[in-house]
Amino acid sequence: MTTSTTPNPVTWFEIATSNPDSAVAFSGELFGWTFHDEPGGPDYRMIDTGTAHGIKGGLADTKGNLPNHAVFYVEVPDVAATCVKAETLGGKVLLPPTEADGGLVFAYLLDAVGNHIGVWTPPQQ
């Protein structure tokens, strides 16, 4: 994920599908994006949008365990506090704060009108 100095910027997007090869072919041809496997395994591919100013993304293989979806991620200073605030504003926490390898923390939210949003905080230095 890309970090930013702007407060709460959108810094990552993710496409999740049970048919990643089809999604790669479609998005690659339509937008000119390139994809490469994540070193941790074949179930996640990194997306390069090809521009210095565009955000990067990932393509997850859901293996049919989740519905297909696309979500953007907002970088926040504190994922847990953001989850609490989202609930006070009428949202819902779908996945509570979760630490990934390397210390990155993320969560999935549902906003007050039903949209999925990811929030994340980079690893603490």
Superfamily of domain 10-121: 2,3-Dihydroxybiphenyl 1,2-Dioxygenase, domain 1 (3.10.180.10)
Task: Supply the pLDDT for residue 5.
Answer: 62
Give the mean model confidence (pLDDT) for residues 77-91. 96
User: How confident is the model over 85-120, as pLDDT tens digits?
Assistant: 999 999 999 999 999 988 999 999 999 988 899 999
Q: HEC string of 21-54?
A: HHHHHHHHHHHCCEEEEECCEEEEEEEECCCCCC
User: How confident is the model over 12-59, as pLDDT tens digits?
Assistant: 999 999 999 999 999 999 889 999 987 766 789 999 988 777 788 999
Which two three-digit tokens encode residue 6? 């702007």
CA distance 60 to 66: 10
What pTM does this model have? Answer: 0.78
**For the chain, domain boundaries:** 10-121
Task: Supply the pLDDT for residue 1.
Answer: 58
At 17, which amino acid appears?
T
Task: Supply the pLDDT for residue 2.
Answer: 57
